[in-house]
Amino acid sequence: MVARPAAPQRSCNAGEFTPEAKGRVDIKQYYAAGLAFKGIEPVPQSGFRRMGGTWRKGEWRRPLSARAITAPTPAAGPFTGTQTIWSGTVAGTVAAVLVSTLAISAGTATFTIEAFVGGVWVAVGGPFAVATGTPATRLAAYAPGQQKTATSLRIRATFSVGATTVSGLVVSAFFESGTALRPRFVDLTPDQGNALACFVTAGIADFYTDTGFVGSARIATVTDTMLPDLAFYSEGNTIGIFHGQLETVRLFLATSGQLHDWRQDLWPYDPVPSADLGGVYAKTDDVWEVFFRWIPDPEAYLSITVNGESTTAIPLKSVGTGLPIGINSAIVPGDWTAWATELALAIEGLPSLGPGVSGVWSNVSGNNTEKITFTFGGDLAGDEYEFSAIIANTADASALPFHTQVGKTDTEEVFSTAKGWPGGATLVQDRLAYYRIPAVTGAMAMSRVAEYFDLNIEGTTDAAARLDKLRSQTNETILHVKDSTSLFVFTDLALYFVPNRTIERNTPLNFVPASEIGAQPNCRPFTLEGEVYYVAINPQGLPFAAQGGKQVLRVTEAVTSATTNFNADPVSLLASHLADNLIRSANQKPANDLDASKGWLMRTDGRLIACQMIRNQDINGYCEWLAAGGGLVREIGIDGKNRLWLAVERAGRTSIELYDTTIYLQDTVNAVPDLAGVITGLAFEDGAELWAKADGYVLGPFACAGGSIALGDAYAAATVGRWIAPRFETMPQVLVTGSDEVVLRPGRIHTLHVNIADTDSIAVGANGEAAEDVELHDTNDQVDAPMPVKTKLLTVTGLLGMMEGTTAVITQKRPGELRVRDIAMGTKL
For residue 313, pLDDT over 60 is answered with yes
In the chain, how many H helices and how many E strands? 1, 71
From the number of C-beta atoms within 10 Å of its C-beta (0-12, 13-18, 19+), residue 493 rates as buried
Question: 384 — phi, psi (to 5°)?
Answer: -100, 135
Mean pLDDT along residues 555-571: 81
Task: State the pLDDT at residue 330.
Answer: 54
Range name among 357-371, 432-446, 676-690, 808-822 with the lowest pLDDT average: 357-371
Range name among 281-295, 355-369, 642-656 with the lowest pLDDT average: 355-369
Mean pLDDT, the chain, integer: 92
If phi > 0 it is left, if psi is from -120 to 50 it is alpha, else beta; for residue 13 that is alpha
Task: State the pLDDT at residue 116.
Answer: 97
Instruction: State the pLDDT confidence band at 560, using cuts at 50, 70 and 90.
Output: low
Higher-confidence residue: 133 or 221? 221
Mean pLDDT comparison of 408-412, 568-572, 735-739, 809-813, highest-scoring range? 809-813
Range name among 132-136, 214-218, 489-493, 676-680 with the lowest pLDDT average: 132-136
DSSP collapsed to 3 states, 342-411: HHHHHHHCCCCCCCCEEEEEEECCCCCEEEEEEEECHHHCCCCCCEEEEECCCCCEEEEEEEEECCEECC
Mean pLDDT along residues 373-399: 93
Task: State the pLDDT at residue 736.
Answer: 86
For residue 388, pLDDT over 90 is answered with yes
Mean pLDDT along residues 436-445: 95
For residue 329, pLDDT over 70 is answered with no
For residue 402, pLDDT over 50 is answered with yes
Instruction: State the pLDDT confidence band at 76, using cuts at 50, 70 and 90.
Output: confident
Task: State the pLDDT at residue 1.
Answer: 43
Range name among 196-210, 228-242, 452-466, 561-575 with the lowest pLDDT average: 561-575
DSSP reduced 3-state for 30: helix
For residue 561, pLDDT over 60 is answered with no
Task: State the pLDDT at residue 737.
Answer: 83
Nearest 5°: CA angle at 149, between 147 and 155? 85
Contact 76, 57 (CB under 8 A): no
Task: State the pLDDT at residue 825.
Answer: 93
The set of residues, in sequence order, having a beta carbon less than 8 Å from that of 91 and lying 6+ positions away, is: 68, 70, 151
Find, among 669, 665, 710, the residue nearest to 691 by Cα. 665
How many of the other CB atoms lie within 10 Å of CB of 695?
15
Instruction: State the pLDDT confidence band at 628, using cuts at 50, 70 and 90.
Output: very high
For residue 174, pLDDT over 70 is answered with yes
Instruction: State the pLDDT confidence band at 144, using cuts at 50, 70 and 90.
Output: very high
Task: State the pLDDT at residue 738.
Answer: 79
Rounded alpha-carbon distances, angstroms, from residue 378 to 280, 283, 289: 15, 9, 18
Task: State the pLDDT at residue 659.
Answer: 97
Mean pLDDT along residues 295-319: 90
Please report, rounded to a whole number, the percentage of residues in the chain having pLDDT higher than 90: 79
Contact 645, 636 (CB under 8 A): yes
Prediction pTM value = 0.90
Please report, rounded to a whole number, the percentage of residues in the chain having pLDDT higher than 70: 98
> In the sheet where 108-117 sits, what is the strand order?
70-74, 82-94, 148-159, 108-117, 120-131
State the Cα–Cα distance between residues 441 and 433, nearest whole angstrom: 14
Task: State the pLDDT at residue 646.
Answer: 98
State the Cα–Cα distance between residues 152 and 169, nearest whole angstrom: 17
Q: Which long-range contacts (CB under 8 A, 24 or more apart) does 487-492 make?
A: 487/428, 487/429, 488/514, 488/525, 488/532, 488/555, 488/566, 489/435, 489/444, 490/518, 490/519, 490/525, 490/534, 491/442, 491/518, 491/519, 492/518, 492/519, 492/521, 492/537, 492/541, 492/542, 492/545
Mean pLDDT along residues 504-528: 92
Range name among 67-71, 178-182, 484-488 with the lowest pLDDT average: 484-488
Task: State the pLDDT at residue 3.
Answer: 58
For residue 713, pLDDT over 50 is answered with yes
For residue 559, pLDDT over 80 is answered with no
For residue 320, pLDDT over 80 is answered with no
Find, among 470, 457, 522, the residue nearest to 498 by Cα. 470
Contact 410, 283 (CB under 8 A): yes
Instruction: State the pLDDT confidence band at 829, using cuts at 50, 70 and 90.
Output: confident
For residue 9, pLDDT over 90 is answered with no
Task: State the pLDDT at residue 562.
Answer: 63
For residue 331, pLDDT over 70 is answered with no
